[in-house]
Structure 1
């Protein structure tokens, strides 16, 4: 059996850490308190995903949360502050997923599989949130955008580190590591755009599929 097939099979059986991560994922925005602030944030995610950031008003968000527009300003000074909070939490989550994989045990192929599988599973399982997190970056002003860009660069660095390790170890055949890193992340992120909960694949199945595809991209299929 080729290495990419072995690793993909292992990826279908998440370890205890991954299971714990998945349990936390089932309680989105648990870190946001008090409850009113959380309700507003959830409403903002839904509105931004449905209408886009610029077409959404604070009145839209408050209405979805069952609150008055005045109540929104108790917790968030502006609509952009809401987007910043959503984006910060989402990008920090993405970084934790990728950094945990990069720092994990096993070969580069093992770690790349875990990174892609977990990253894709999150983007599929939380596709509404992920669409806002990944595709509304340009809606942030110059004051707030650099902090999010910095988080994205750290996520990029985690994947690039794994691919570089694989090339050094002779596991991967990659000529352009930065370009391949960008391709891998772009492939994973795009899942949030098209994933449908009524489709025939679950988030775990899409994660396993993409892990296999990415290993083929880096030339790991030649490894026995």
Structure 2
């Protein structure tokens, strides 16, 4: 079963021509989730994590509360599963985007930003859950933060390489990385699939905005 979201959070798959011999990182297929996780995602968006109950999720999924506990332990376990699925997927997609760009730091950076924004616009249901980080218990928060740090480190490495090869003009690499990640993450707060812009439109726009921010002007 694929990721299901309330109508306002639905998004279209992106299917440009795949790269020769590889899976195109720009093609964002729906995540495969169990019916229980689909139900939880819907309930979390409607009521928020704090406002949702185990009974709400079980009822939506058509299962008993003991069944939910058996598969995920508790409500926290469901949230962790969903959040980790999202961050692991976007990180893998970003890594593929960087690898596909070749040696140019400018191209690797542009691809990385584009991949992140495609995730935010094409998988808003999962991406939105990053804001629920505050509800994770300490161990779960540390585990998720470590996974998210992997994506940040990828961006830091590309920025440092761009500065070293004089492709970028920034002086504060960590600060720039934080600002750029915040810019990408905020897309999920305003993007709507029924609006005038497609995921591709937004990802291309943000790619250019990010390049401008590091000192790369349009050709």
- With normalisation by structure 1, the TM-score equals 0.84
Of 147, 150, 157, the residue aligned with 1:154 is 150
Please state how far the C-alpha of 1:15 moved relative to its aligned partner. 4.8
Q: Which residue of 2 aligns with 1:82?
A: 78
**RMSD of equivalent CA atoms:** 2.0
Specify the alignment match of 2:29 in structure 1.
26
Runs of 5+ in structure 1 lacking a partner?
1-12, 31-37
Distance 2:65 2:185 in 1: 33
Correspondence 1:121 to 2:126:
no
Q: Considering Cα pairs closer than 8 Å and 6+ residues apart, tell me whether 1 or 2 has the greater RCO.
A: 1
Q: What's the offset of the Cα at 1:118? A: 1.2
Displacement after TM superposition at 1:98 (Å): 2.3
TM-score by length of 2: 0.85
Equivalent positions of 1:1-224 (< 5 A) are 15-16=18-19, 17=22, 19=24, 22=27, 25-29=28-32, 38-104=34-100, 105-132=102-129, 134-221=130-217
Q: How many residues align?
A: 202
Counterparts of 1:20 and 1:211, CA distance in 2: 15
Gaps of 5+ in 2: 1-15
Match of residue 35 from structure 1? none
The 8 Å contact of residues 117 and 208 in structure 1, kept in 2 or not, is answered as: yes
Offset at residue 21 of structure 1 (A)? 6.0
- Report the Cα offset of residue 70 of structure 1: 2.8
